[in-house]
A and B are shown apart, each in its own frame.
Chain A
Amino acid sequence: MRTCWFVLSSMVLASMAPILTQELPAGVVAQPGSTPALKNPLDTPADAELGRKTFVTSGGCSYCHANDGTGGRGANLTNGEYRFGGSDEQLFETIRNGIPGSDMPPTRGPDPEIWQLVAFVKRLGSQGLNEKASGDAAAGKLIYDTKGGCAGCHSIHNTGGILGPDLTRVGRRRSLRFLEESIIRPEADLPLDYRGVRVVMASGETVTGIRLNEDDVSIQLREVNGSLRAFLKDSLKEIRRESPSLMPAYGSALSPREIEDLVAYLSSLRGTP
């Protein structure tokens, strides 16, 4: 299977050669000392729009990823995280060949159509890139570090807590509106990987944390202090899920201006270029 995958990848690359070397030679970006990486030759907003049409129609993508890319049967494409790589070339290969071991099938259609899909999918996962926040990012950083206490749970460039999602690239991935809503109403769009639960032990002791895993026998948590805990369900009195987000809602804790500034700071977090 792996052999086939390699051969297939080579074939796909070979099949793209005419586009890259003849029609759109500028699409090849040579990296010193490495195999040239492929850059999307069809990456204009118009291309992305054509990609969107393919996505929701003949591509069949929306059947699993939803028309807005938020996922369902398939992965959520709006968070900018791609298991098999987010470069133009990697996305092209994933879309073209599918993902063995998953329901993601290969995609038919000519190469330009695939490139347009790449353009659309990349924009799904970088919705914040083209927005300009109105707030003061420097003031927002101060709120992040002090009054907001955000670093207690969130990490930026491997600095900060591990209870909540990493925010290193959140400004690239998320729109201003999404960021604001997440601050005011964290439960509005909670990633399933960060659901909060509270378990009540036989002794009456309660433990609150993020659910890491669960089956019919046991449940595994990351406690608020970062500790990893595991419980056999038979030993628990109760598992409460009534408060799915452990993140405080900041709608009343911060002023509108402070929220605006915090959004500006988060929007400036674009990761390593």
Chain B
Amino acid sequence: MERVLAAVALLGASVLLKSQGLPVTYDRLLKADQEPGNWLMYSGTYNSWRYSRLDQINTANASRLKPKWLFQMRTREKVESTPLVVDGIMYLTRPENDIIALDAETGRTLWTYEYRNPARLFPCCGRVNRGVAILGDRLFMNTLDMHVVAVEARSGRELWRKQMFDYAAAGGYAATGAPLVVKDKVIVGMAGGEKGVRGFLDAYNAATGELVWRFHTIPEQGEPNYTWSADSGERGGAATWNTGSYDPELNTLYWGTGNPWPDTNGDVRLGDDLYSCSVIALDADTGKLKWHFQFTPHDVHDWDSTQVPVLADGEFRGRARKLLLWPNRNGFFYVLDRQTGEFLLAKAFVKQTWTKGFDDKGRPELVAGNEPTPEGNTEVWPGVDGGANWMAHSYSPLTKWLYTFAREEHRVYSKSVYRAPTTEEEVAGFRGRPQFPPEDSFGKVIAIDPGTGEIRWEHRVLTPPWSGVMATAGNLVFGGTMEGNVFALDARSGKLLWRFLGNGPVYAGPISFLSHGKQHVSLAVGDVLMTFSLDGE
């Protein structure tokens, strides 16, 4: 009898756990900042602050942080995933395209959804995935073979799957970023900028999986803003492989676009190559372009502008504005007016050699000698992986500073022969010796004042990073290094307050949530999702 009661009690607890917190309505997503115990979308909130309003863990007690539980993924792939947390349940993607629901208190698995990709895939940079989106009781993920799937959050049961595009077309497409849900739509980007594809951004009906709109990031020949020589734009890249942001008041999506193809040889794609290396502002309902701003016209350095857009309101030069903050791969921190796309500021946050400055429209004035060369140009900064890359930035409303994990890196830029557009033909390549002494390069967490672009403090680390950062109401900034040092810094001074030696490269961004009323911080270190809390409790 006792056993039966125990079983019933366990069953009850289990059912309760699995039914908590759903549905996650669009209204809840709009007010995600009002649910600091949860992490409801990739960047936390639509403004992509990746900021936690939790302050149980703070500058006074961060030294008491201890690991509470680990989730071992047992994958050899890079883990770039940001988990979601909804009232005690964590939803995590594991490479290649599995979704796992975990008990956020213990890390124990509740269910696993396994998506089978074809054996041969064509991602440029690893079989990675950066996470899911949620709406109602559904999770959404895009896959390396260019599908979008909807999965029931309570069970992991697949509800629909739609093909975005033929993943084997051109040189190969892939989808790696976390989707963004807006209203009843799932916004999904794609990758393939190294493969001669034509970029686009899609919106799917969350209920049915039907394609609602598609925005091509390269106009058709003859359309306005087709700024490519001959037909080069048809394979010009400008992929949308990271996650964007959304302003509900303006009903505007902001999304970054990737490099033009071929990456380091611009001779066959003369012109500005719009809308590569740009931010595009789209009407969220229709996908129509409102405005665009190109950070790097006619890029030849592989300087994708696929960073997560950060939306912040504030006074800029004496005038209240809706701002768009953007530490770019080209090494400059930009401030734009996000209503109009007006250029307001650009200031270097890493060493740069390629531009003398900008005109009043934000167009750079190039410095000769910074182009890739056949023998390899070793005197160009920032390096080919950029001053910033896809890693998450964070904005704190307490300090009003933007935090980013910047890369100071010495690399080589090589230009290869280009012959023709398809996969069986020429692609960009590197010549020469791209290796330099490790001490030539390093990483730094920096706090940027958006009003001036000044760096308020920097925390230097050994190796150029791939980790995102998260600021919290406890005035902390969390992140991790390539050696697996997970850290908490004082958001006001950059002082190191806590460190854990995880000994695995960090490729993901941190999140924070409540479990049983206590604040936790999670971050993937190597292939282990680590969750920390005060005293490990």
Give the interface centre of B124, B125, B127, B481 by most chain A CB atoms within 10 Å: B127
CB-defined contacts of A7 to chain B, threshold 8 Å: 119
Contact A109–B427 (Cβ < 8 Å): no
CB-defined contacts of B194 to chain A, threshold 8 Å: 60, 63
Contact B120–A217 (Cβ < 8 Å): no
Once A66-B414, A101-B77, A108-B423 are accepted as A-B contacts, the answer to whether A215 and B501 lie under 8 Å apart by CB is yes
B23 CB-CB contact with A under 8 Å? no
Contact A106–B119 (Cβ < 8 Å): yes
Once A56-B416, A100-B76 are accepted as A-B contacts, the answer to whether A215 and B423 lie under 8 Å apart by CB is no
* Chain A interface residue count, Cβ-Cβ cutoff 8 angstroms: 38
Q: How far is the CA of A102 from the CA of B485 in the complex (A)?
A: 21
CB-defined contacts of B431 to chain A, threshold 8 Å: 56, 62, 66-68
Q: How far is the CA of A150 from the CA of B417 in the complex (A)?
A: 43
A216 CB-CB contact with B under 8 Å? yes
Interface size grouping (class) on chain B: 35 or more
Q: How far is the CA of A100 from the CA of B125 in the complex (A)?
A: 11
Contact B425–A58 (Cβ < 8 Å): yes
Contact B75–A1 (Cβ < 8 Å): yes
For B461, give its contact among A58, A71, A109, A216 (CB under 8 Å). Answer: A216
Report B68-101 CB contacts with A as 1/0, cut-off 8 Å.
0000000111100000000000000000000000
CB-defined contacts of A102 to chain B, threshold 8 Å: 76, 126
Q: How far is the CA of A28 from the CA of B224 in the complex (A)?
A: 58
Report A206-219 CB contacts with B as 1/0, cut-off 8 Å.
00000000111100
Q: How far is the CA of A45 from the CA of B178 in the complex (A)?
A: 46
Contact B485–A217 (Cβ < 8 Å): yes
Report A36-69 CB contacts with B as 1/0, cut-off 8 Å.
0000000000000000000011101111101110
User: How near does chain A come to B532, taking the closest CB pair, in angstroms?
Assistant: 17
Give the interface centre of A63, A68, A102 by most chain B CB atoms within 10 Å: A63
Contact A70–B461 (Cβ < 8 Å): no
Q: How far is the CA of A7 from the CA of B116 in the complex (A)?
A: 13
CB-defined contacts of A56 to chain B, threshold 8 Å: 416-417, 429, 431
A87 CB-CB contact with B under 8 Å? no
For B119, give its contact among A11, A62, A67, A70 (CB under 8 Å). Answer: A11
Interface stretch of the complex, out of B237-245, B268-276, B280-288, B435-443: B435-443
User: How near does chain B come to A266, taking the closest CB pair, in angstroms?
Assistant: 22
For B429, give its contact among A57, A97, A216, A217 (CB under 8 Å). Answer: A57
Binding site for A on B (CB under 8 A): 75-78, 119-127, 171-172, 194, 263, 411-412, 414, 416-417, 419, 423-435, 437-439, 461-462, 481, 483-485, 499, 501
Q: Can you list the 6 inter-chain pairs with the closest CB atoms, starting with the nearest?
A: A101-B76, A72-B434, A62-B429, A215-B483, A67-B431, A57-B426
Contacts A/B (CB < 8 Å), 30 sampled: A4-B119, A11-B119, A57-B426, A58-B424, A62-B416, A63-B194, A63-B263, A66-B433, A67-B414, A67-B416, A67-B431, A71-B435, A72-B412, A72-B435, A101-B78, A102-B76, A105-B121, A105-B122, A105-B123, A106-B120, A106-B121, A106-B122, A108-B423, A109-B424, A192-B437, A216-B462, A216-B481, A216-B485, A217-B499, A244-B437
